Chain A
């Protein structure tokens, strides 16, 4: 998939994450802001990268502001931001590349 325009999903509430995607410069640029970056930074990056990989995205600037989100929330926010960037809201591939 190609990121067509900047898009945001998620909130700054506890247990959530706010994810912003923007068209990249030919690579994946990952930025993370989290109060638990020392404990969970690597795990958060792993989940985000795996999610982008499943969505076949390799050209994006992605910023995650984490507020203690579980893995399932991180995935949900990344996917929501990505599908918002391409304006797709129906006939989503549940159980396919969204899993």
Chain B
């Protein structure tokens, strides 16, 4: 019997981010005969590219798009840079933007679509602000210009609290109650596997460095179309946060997704598919 292989393939790419050598892991799946519109997917804080495995296994998407999902440095199978043990990890607007652009350039992607969730959604807004002409379209999931914090991130990295378990338990509330138990727990498993202090370091970008209030007003959707999709059960980036952001951006398309929380692509792939396919249809026209 033939092995039950899934369609995505994983590889490592060597690249430099801000002059620092990195070894970045990514997975991809696309049309059988090559080509396809590049669709680069950005995982949430403290997680990795596996969140997009359902997209990469969906022929209706991969027949038209070359879906690529990479692990940010320090996440998943992307190793931290040499000397990581001598400093505290902190993601910034600048370093995150540089990582995405370096990946797209290293893979020689021609005007890719970028879709990111949570911190990935926030940085997509920054791409729309600062680098819109480089992209065919931008999709921000669970994104807003700013969100009110709802816990103290100091609890995420200390020796008397298990980092993986507390990260997973905190974000478990962001999964919609309707999401299938299997998908809920697979989503949480990725949080349990994050490196020490990495979720906290990602949230530095989210909470401190990546405040995009006022800046989103400069987004020009005529240069690059922008789509915002947020789950109704996301109380971290609430639908109100996304709608407030959308009001400031002429031409943006915004959707509030029913029965979905903060991790649409991994917590309820079937429900997310209903919302993302029409967006991808528009982009591929």
**Chains A and B come from one and the same complex:** no
